[in-house]
Copies of this chain bind each other. A is one copy, B any other.
Amino acid sequence: MKFSNRWYCVARASEVSTQPMEQVICDRPIVLFRTAETGKLVALENRCPHRQAPLSMGKVIGDDIMCIYHGWIMDATGQCVYIPGQDNVASSVRVGSYPVVVKWGMIWLWIGDADKVDEGLIPKMDWTEDDEQSSVFIRFYVKADYQLMADNLLDLSHSDFLHASSFGSQAGQRAETDHIKAELETWADEDAVNSVRTLRNVILSPMAAAWASTDQPVTRTHRTRWTPPNNINIELIIENDENKVTIHHDHIMTPETGQSCHYFMIWTRDFAVHSGYPSDEDVRREQTSVIGAEDIPIVEAQQRNRIRFNDPADIPGVGDKFLGAVHRRIAELEKEAKQKSAA
């Protein structure tokens, strides 16, 4: 589902300038830009009220945006303030606008009622602003419903199969290390659903072993917090007697359409911050190639298969405890939202 009265992440703050750019968010074409005079961040419907040309092809003039087709000018609220050759412009000549804020280096767009805007609903990601840690931001584009991309993160057991030779391990593979039992706890607070998943005595794959500078068995703990619409904050702790490292990887999914999504990822480490392995560039290369070559292809294939097989019912397994809890929470939130709008 797509939530109303929620923040949707639409871009990294540094992606938006006085050069207008389009992003389709929840099926809505939106133009994003900063005004030239005050540098204010603006999000409008991406159309001119005159003849529907996209404002993203226009140009920012002062604190306004001019449609390049016939020169009509809209201000930062979407109100048309100038039509060439006309002395007056009716107040009804306007396009819709969206509240936008910058937090944690990302741009968040509010879809919902303007009087319910609440910055407290943006997930906390303090670690992205901590000088003792280093964050890398990566943007992906996925041809699948954003829920399928989120579900990927809600069942981290995939990391020992899909990522067995990159991020993960072979823990859980039959006849290899299936003596390793995973512990998985989940609980809800407010709108969030949380889980802790611990695996002990894990032999890591080479990439993960290099992060932790160990080739000995480790305890691998994932603390995950899901908040609506589909923000997933994961704290990964890898530790043994030799070493302990912590990685926050934050995954923010935003629907483009019902079958495609924007996927923003921030990977924050508390080790090798100023030198050593991995550098920011190493992180970017590793994450881009593994998520791009392992996660996204299988999620897109899932999407295609759901269409080709006419949406068959999934069969949950023991690993789906957290995913199931989140799906139930989504259904509850949907029901609450309907009741509120009916009231």
Query: Hey, which chain B residues are within 8 Å of A93, CB to CB?
Result: 315
A325 interfacial by beta-carbon distance below 8 Å: no
Pairwise interchain contact B302-A161, C-beta atoms closer than 8 A: no
A283 interfacial by beta-carbon distance below 8 Å: no
Query: Hey, which chain B residues are within 8 Å of A305, CB to CB?
Result: 29, 46-47, 52-54
Q: How many angstroms from the CA of A67 to the CA of B317 in the assembled complex?
A: 14
Q: Which of B69, B161, B319 contacts A161 (CB 8 A)?
A: B69
Q: A174-B84, A318-B86 are in contact. Are A298 and B53 (CB under 8 A)?
A: yes
Q: Which of A49, A162, A305, A318 is most buried by chain B, counting CB atoms within 10 A of its CB?
A: A305
Majority secondary structure, A binding face: loop
Question: Measured between C-beta atoms, what is the minimum distance from A83 to chain B in Å?
Answer: 5
Q: A86-B318, A172-B85, A314-B50 are in contact. Are A70 and B157 (CB under 8 A)?
A: yes
Pairwise interchain contact B298-A68, C-beta atoms closer than 8 A: yes
Instruction: Report the 8 A-B pairs with minimum CB-CB distance, sorted nearest first.
Output: A84-B172, A71-B161, A52-B305, A83-B317, A85-B318, A86-B318, A49-B315, A54-B301
| Interface, chain A (partner B; CB < 8 A) | 29, 45-47, 49-54, 57, 61, 66-73, 82-86, 93, 151, 155, 157-158, 160-162, 172-174, 178, 181-182, 297-298, 301-302, 305-306, 308-309, 312, 314-319
